[in-house]
Structure 1
């Protein structure tokens, strides 16, 4: 593993692992309907990640490191943008957010109530909006 991989991670990695965060994979456009429905019971977070982008990798790692949201208070989804750009486009249309990468979108009661991208992605900001 090279020096930059140690800093930013291996850019070929498609799935992230976190000890405190259990990601749900977002791989089908049809999941957006169930995500909207789920968000009436528990807020849903979608993390849109470009697996080949070092900035996106850094934002993801920082988010996972800072994540301190009690299980059951938020349902987090992970979207691999390189594999599923069509889903990202549908998120933009369905929830009225401009596509960014990396980006988080917080959904409550079927609507996007918050989104942030790049260095503005902060786990504490998400937690404060729950």
Structure 2
């Protein structure tokens, strides 16, 4: 399983996005039980498929979380996951729709 990096700054976000290729970005609330379940699904997917992935803790790193919403013009939700490909959002979803199977299905498209 590849290491999941935690993004603490907009600069780190920029580097993650600009690296290109397919990558997953997960916005996580450490106080939300729905987010905890979604994070487990995200990690379960990553245990089976090696790919670059990053997490933003929405309460702790609010400016980074806000930058994602502003940059991609996608309303902030938490938990929320994005499949990025070459810097563009190819798929995103939130809450209970974040499952290992949903991520795997999005990867096929």
Q: TM-score, normalised by structure 1?
A: 0.72
Give the number of the structure whose alpha-carbon radius of gyration is greater.
1
Structure 1 residue 96 displacement after superposition:
2.2
Is the counterpart of residue 116 in structure 1 residue 89 in structure 2? no
Report whether the alignment pairs 1:30 with 2:11.
Answer: yes
Aligned pair 1:80/2:20, yes or no? no
What stretches of structure 2 of length at least 5 have no aligned partner?
none
Q: Does residue 25 of structure 2 align to residue 46 of structure 1?
A: yes
Give the deviation of 1:54 after TM superposition: 1.1
Which one has a larger percent helix, Structure 1 or Structure 2? 2
Q: Distance in 2 between matches of 1:21 and 1:76?
A: 8
Q: TM-score, length-normalised on structure 2?
A: 0.84
Relative distance call for 1:97 and 1:52 in structure 2 (3 A) is same
Cα RMSD for the two superposed structures: 1.8
SS of 2:10 mapped into structure 1? coil
After superposing the two structures, state which structure 1 stretch, 102-111 or 60-69, moved more.
60-69
Cα distance in 1, alignment partners of residues 27 and 81 from structure 2: 6
Pick the aligned partner of 1:56 from 11, 35, 42: 35
Secondary structure in 2 matching 1:36: helix
Say whether the 8 Å CA contact 1:21–1:64 is kept in structure 2: no
